[in-house]
Amino acid sequence: MDPLVIAGKIYSSRLLVGTGKYKDFAETRAAIDAAGAEIVTVAIRRTNIGQDPNQPSLLDALPPSQFTYLPNTAGCYTADDAIRTLRLARELLDGHDLVKLEVLGDPQSLYPNVVETLRAAEVLVKDGFKVMVYTSDDPIIAKQLEDIGCVAVMPLASLIGSGMGILNPWNLQIIIDRLSVPVIVDAGVGTASDAAIAMELGCDAVLMNTAIAGARDPVLMASAMKKAVEAGREAWLAGRIAKKTYQASPSSPTSGLIGS
Amino acid sequence: MDPLVIAGKIYSSRLLVGTGKYKDFAETRAAIDAAGAEIVTVAIRRTNIGQDPNQPSLLDALPPSQFTYLPNTAGCYTADDAIRTLRLARELLDGHDLVKLEVLGDPQSLYPNVVETLRAAEVLVKDGFKVMVYTSDDPIIAKQLEDIGCVAVMPLASLIGSGMGILNPWNLQIIIDRLSVPVIVDAGVGTASDAAIAMELGCDAVLMNTAIAGARDPVLMASAMKKAVEAGREAWLAGRIAKKTYQASPSSPTSGLIGS
Amino acid sequence: MDPLVIAGKIYSSRLLVGTGKYKDFAETRAAIDAAGAEIVTVAIRRTNIGQDPNQPSLLDALPPSQFTYLPNTAGCYTADDAIRTLRLARELLDGHDLVKLEVLGDPQSLYPNVVETLRAAEVLVKDGFKVMVYTSDDPIIAKQLEDIGCVAVMPLASLIGSGMGILNPWNLQIIIDRLSVPVIVDAGVGTASDAAIAMELGCDAVLMNTAIAGARDPVLMASAMKKAVEAGREAWLAGRIAKKTYQASPSSPTSGLIGS
Amino acid sequence: MDPLVIAGKIYSSRLLVGTGKYKDFAETRAAIDAAGAEIVTVAIRRTNIGQDPNQPSLLDALPPSQFTYLPNTAGCYTADDAIRTLRLARELLDGHDLVKLEVLGDPQSLYPNVVETLRAAEVLVKDGFKVMVYTSDDPIIAKQLEDIGCVAVMPLASLIGSGMGILNPWNLQIIIDRLSVPVIVDAGVGTASDAAIAMELGCDAVLMNTAIAGARDPVLMASAMKKAVEAGREAWLAGRIAKKTYQASPSSPTSGLIGS
Amino acid sequence: MITLHINGQPRQFPAALKIADLVSELDLLGKRIAVEKNGEIVPKSQHGNVMAVDGDQLEIVVAVGGG
Amino acid sequence: MITLHINGQPRQFPAALKIADLVSELDLLGKRIAVEKNGEIVPKSQHGNVMAVDGDQLEIVVAVGGG
Amino acid sequence: MITLHINGQPRQFPAALKIADLVSELDLLGKRIAVEKNGEIVPKSQHGNVMAVDGDQLEIVVAVGGG
Amino acid sequence: MITLHINGQPRQFPAALKIADLVSELDLLGKRIAVEKNGEIVPKSQHGNVMAVDGDQLEIVVAVGGG
């Protein structure tokens, strides 16, 4: 498939995945392999002081040498918390500066707070981060985030973890038409067809976590999502037929019928 | 993928394709290979008396030894025409008895005439044909066609060639829930996500022609459809997450946040 | 509003209602008055031998002198039962010959059995009945029912009592475009906007029962449905604006802005 | 209908209308009368110096004594322009302080610029205006606008003048659930059913202009919209039946059938 | 003694009787009903003439609320 | 002279002839075809025996691309 | 001679004048308008006092149909 | 005795100590962590120099699964 370029780096997979909500690291790794994902999001959390230091860690299961880590700011409701969290992430990952910024509005909806998001994006971009930013499907805000210098804009399809799919394809279409940086649908995908629809709109990639980790068979769903993203991308490149609300058009010749 | 069984024969591909509307036989073959289709529909038409007998024929491009032919009755508006056409097809294909029955209501909509379809199905099943039958999304008619002995029931997603996708998933769901023979969505698919949605409903397979042959790049679209059908099937097998219209659910831990 | 003409008789209301599922006859009457309905459907059932003969009857609550009765064949699964039922209804109502024919496929879905429906319609029309016929949204069947001589064709919006609204507006559109007799959406309406949408498609009227009788406040919902049907009809007559998927168009002058 | 209360004032109509795009003032007045609207939006524009001072003005057609004027800031792309415009409006209307704030993102989409909108709202509320504010369907922004002290929050259904109807009912639902001030759907309504759907979601009112003024028959469409808004409100108050995706429920008794 | 099958239920009567008499027997006099005998409508005008005899299948119906 | 109606078109032939000969006459020899005579299939195995005579209605078909 | 910028257009006037006089000059007397001078509202009550002087930026607006 | 606030919890230590020593104290040696002291990142390269003193607010974080 045609490659995806984010901040000058080339990726062959257009499916980005989260690493949360899995049964264990083995399942996490198996699902991510089945998804063929190259970029994986991780959260930054306090060490549990006193816990067994020898228990396996995410970094053992997903060696940073094999995957591009995308530390996020999940759980942050202010620009300041998000900025602090990503500075810790950069230190943690030896200066790795590709990050996912998300500043949420409230814990019930997890809908983005776009004002705080804009504020944090400005600071982080100035501070040298390569910011992939989670936002609403507001096309004006999406453009402002690009203008600030974010390397990818990631509008939601629907609420995080809702599995409702793409609620407003029209807004996404405007965003896709207007932005030059990659547009990645993030949050809300529930099943394979949702991912295909996102790609058919012309999105550059899809990011998901719950749709895979929460499926009855996460590894099989990961494979489904890989194929769906590729199918949607290829369909977009192939140029679908126009919709015809009425007059049907036969697929077989209309002449040469017997007894006619 | 789990195999598809029609009339006791096993198929590994769940994508059936038509062979009409292509630029030439080379494109036909390339698209069908990209689709990975094992079953291909063909139409039965009068020989053009006096045309150059040496020009290539469909059977050269798609050797019956490599593909399962599914002769159709496209263009037939009565049970009698459909029956005559399929008897000619069986003679033409050396007794091959797997056929696609379609009896249409009118040339404008190409919507099936279910009364004539029932009539033809009864005669053809008695006459030893293995009938895969194109029909509307009427669940009562679909069940009657199964009871008559059709080996597969193929409800429309929308009008033939319309590319409108699945207009009434609810009726398809009832049909899928009630029938034991394979249910194959036939007609109306426009792009990859439509095929994925059909499979996610629990259909056994999808049959299409225009969506591939009419695309700007038919071969690439054929590949997209192959992946979409597999994606939809795997998603259905994997068990998608439930839709949550409201309360979002975070993918990252809600505890251990800094500064909390 | 422009009048509705069925079998040569003029009606000012385009909302037809059923009389089932109400708390009591008082509520039935209040709801029907609020709906402004002129045509009311009734069912034909065996007398409960031995029950108190003095308890009030539907005909006391809704005097046939004030309403046009439309006896139905609810619960009939064969043409014969439907025909017998309507002959009893005609006898019961002193020769009244305007009837609602419905032949159902099964008790779970209550989806129409269109083959039996066609059969019954032919007999009843020959027998002098003015048949308003409940059917699926199959445009070929709908046209056949008109050709048989039915005075109104009544396709479903969705399953009886489901409240799912109009699942396939495209099929309804084809039916409306092709038929000359009144097309009345029957079954599936759940709320006011569903009725408005049906009328905006160009339907001649809407028939409902559960949406009103099953509402928390049936009388208020009846009023809502009256207004929704009128709103939808007027909107259809008034000619709505075209949908513009993108370029917005301001409602205020774009010149004369201050400071420009 | 239950009254609508905005900034302590009671209105009996839940349909607010714009006054732009009409053929002439006579049509404007006729449509507004048919709509039964009490609140009408107006734009503020520079006088055309030198034009005939005796030609009729909007205020002659719609006497401020009979209608509640809602001066808007259509065409403003910055908080400052919007603030200046509304200060002129207040002076123009003798201290009238109920205003519609809209700050747009760009002339192509007319999508709101929520950051500038928040900025303007804060200044205007402090300055004593009663601000009814046009915004996106972002529930976080909507809540912030309420917290600032806006007297009504008016999220879009879809782009201004697009007639696309309600693209994302889920976001509107969240806004309606969370806000205490009236929520008025503003922009995007195309036909009567769109207005009914908005009210059925629980919106307090609907504001529109193009859907009426741009209809083939604006006065008839105004009447349709009046009825649709009332129908939707009543349906919401009456409590619709639940949707049942499958098992149908008969409206006629299932016992007492003949021949059973 | 004769047996009539009325609305699916067998019922004993001393002897064959007119439909009109059967209707009053059943307390249905003056009520809006229709009668079918062995699959054929018995018009009101004939209730005074047509006899219900042993073994007859009768359906007696009314209009009830329905949609 | 006889007339055969082949795929709806009348055609003259000097005399009645076997289906097999007709097929080669029409340059269809070796092509994958099926033949119907007056509404009845003529199996390949019978092409050498069955005669096409004056007034016969013949349908000769092939498989073509279709969906 | 002074120049006033009215609704973005420069206009010559013999001398500074009261807003009230400017309004009548412009044939806007009695019309429902609002006036802004150099970004500040000039209340109707002040039209008789406030002078428009050379270089002033004036906005004079009316209400028009809009949505 | 000094008190450090580590990840929001107060903890006693005999005396001020280097971040590096604190990390080993906490059994985090060799683990992939990052340290923030009073709102400022303490780079790994500085763990050997920077002291944690009484009252310091420390955040010590790791990467965990998240979406």
Q: Show residues of chain B in contact with D173, CB under 8 Å.
A: 245-246
How much is the ipTM here? Answer: 0.92
D238–C231 CB contact, under 8 Å: no
Interface probe with D: pick from G22, G46, G62, most Cβ of D within 10 Å: G62
pLDDT by position in tens, chain D (length 260): 689 999 999 999 999 999 999 999 999 999 999 999 999 999 999 987 666 666 778 888 999 999 999 999 999 999 999 999 999 999 999 999 999 999 999 999 999 999 999 999 999 999 999 999 999 999 999 999 999 999 999 999 999 999 999 999 999 999 999 999 999 999 999 999 999 999 999 999 999 999 999 999 999 999 999 999 999 999 999 999 999 987 667 788 888 887 76
What ranges make up the beta strands (E) of G1-67? 2-6, 9-13, 17-18, 34-37, 40-42, 51-52, 57-65
A174–C246 CB contact, under 8 Å: yes
Instruction: Give pLDDT tens digits for C117-164.
Output: 999 999 999 999 999 999 999 999 999 999 999 999 999 999 999 999
Work out the average pLDDT over A186-209: 97
D174–B246 CB contact, under 8 Å: yes
Q: How many CB pairs under 8 A join B and H?
A: 18
Nearest to A144 by CA among A162, A169, A118: A118
Query: If contacts are CB pairs under 8 Å, which of residues 105-124 in chain D contact chain A?
Result: 105-106, 109, 111-115, 118
pLDDT band (50, 70, 90) for residue A245: confident
What residue of C is the nearest CA neighbor of E29? C53
A27-A30-A31 Cα angle (round to 5): 85
Work out the average pLDDT over C28-54: 88
A59–H27 CB contact, under 8 Å: no
Query: What integer pLDDT is reported at residue A222 of this predicted model?
Result: 98
Instruction: Provide the token pair at A128.
Output: 């040298």
Interface probe with F: pick from B88, B100, B134, B225, most Cβ of F within 10 Å: B88
- Nearest beta carbon to residue A114 from set D109, D114, D174: D114
Query: What integer pLDDT is reported at residue H24 of this predicted model?
Result: 92
Query: If contacts are CB pairs under 8 Å, which of residues 50-69 in chain C contact chain G?
Result: none
Instruction: Provide the token pair at D44.
Output: 């503020």
CA distance D207 to B75: 51
Q: Which residues of C are catalytic?
A: 100
Residues of chain B predicted below pLDDT 70: 1, 49-54, 247-248, 260
Residue length of chain D? 260
Please give, rounded to a whole number of angstroms, the shortest distance from the CA of H11 to a CA of chain A.
Answer: 11
Bigger pLDDT: A250 or C29? C29
The answer, for B241 touching chain H at a CB cutoff of 8 Å, is no
- Nearest beta carbon to residue H66 from set A19, A53, A93: A19
Interface probe with D: pick from C86, C191, C209, most Cβ of D within 10 Å: C191
CA distance A222 to H31: 30
The answer, for C147 touching chain B at a CB cutoff of 8 Å, is no
Query: What integer pLDDT is reported at residue D50 of this predicted model?
Result: 60
Work out the average pLDDT over C78-98: 95
G39–D84 CB contact, under 8 Å: yes
Burial class (CB in 10 A: 0-12, 13-18, 19+), B48: middle
C112–B171 CB contact, under 8 Å: no
Residues of chain E predicted below pLDDT 50: none
Please give, rounded to a whole number of angstroms, the shortest distance from the CA of A253 to a CA of chain F.
Answer: 7
The full DSSP string for C244-255 is: -SS----SS-SS
Residue G29 predicted with pLDDT over 90: no
Query: What integer pLDDT is reported at residue D260 of this predicted model?
Result: 67
Catalytic residue among A21, A100, A130, A143: A100
Residue A13 predicted with pLDDT over 80: yes
CA distance C131 to C38: 17
Query: If contacts are CB pairs under 8 Å, which of residues 199-238 in chain D contact chain C?
Result: 200, 209-211, 213-218, 220-221, 223-228, 230-235, 237-238
- Nearest beta carbon to residue F34 from set B19, B50, B88: B88
The answer, for B28 touching chain F at a CB cutoff of 8 Å, is yes
The answer, for D257 touching chain E at a CB cutoff of 8 Å, is no
C105-C106-C109 Cα angle (round to 5): 100
Please give, rounded to a whole number of angstroms, the shortest distance from the CA of G30 to a CA of chain D.
Answer: 10
Bigger pLDDT: D227 or A47? D227
A100 carries an active-site annotation: yes
Please give, rounded to a whole number of angstroms, the shortest distance from the CA of D257 to a CA of chain B.
Answer: 22
Query: What integer pLDDT is reported at residue D103 of this predicted model?
Result: 97
Catalytic residue among D9, D21, D23, D100: D100
The answer, for B41 touching chain F at a CB cutoff of 8 Å, is yes
Query: What integer pLDDT is reported at residue G30 of this predicted model?
Result: 83
Work out the average pLDDT over A147-175: 96
D91–G44 CB contact, under 8 Å: yes
Residue length of chain F? 67
Residue A49 predicted with pLDDT over 70: no
The mean predicted confidence, pLDDT, of chain G is 93
The answer, for D258 touching chain E at a CB cutoff of 8 Å, is yes
CA distance A107 to D206: 30
What residue of F is the nearest CA neighbor of B55? F31
pLDDT band (50, 70, 90) for residue C248: low
Q: Which DSSP state fits B190?
A: -
Burial class (CB in 10 A: 0-12, 13-18, 19+), G25: middle
Query: What integer pLDDT is reported at residue F21 of this predicted model?
Result: 94
Residue A136 predicted with pLDDT over 70: yes
CA distance C21 to C210: 7
- Nearest beta carbon to residue E66 from set D253, D258, D259: D253
Instruction: Give pLDDT tens digits for C3-16.
Output: 999 999 999 999 99
Work out the average pLDDT over A123-140: 98
pTM attached to this predicted model: 0.93
Q: Show residues of chain E in contact with C87, CB under 8 Å.
A: 36, 41
- The chains in contact with chain D, meaning 3 or more Cβ pairs closer than 8 Å, are A, B, C, E, G
A160–B251 CB contact, under 8 Å: yes
Query: If contacts are CB pairs under 8 Å, which of residues 86-105 in chain D contact chain G?
Result: 87-89, 91-93
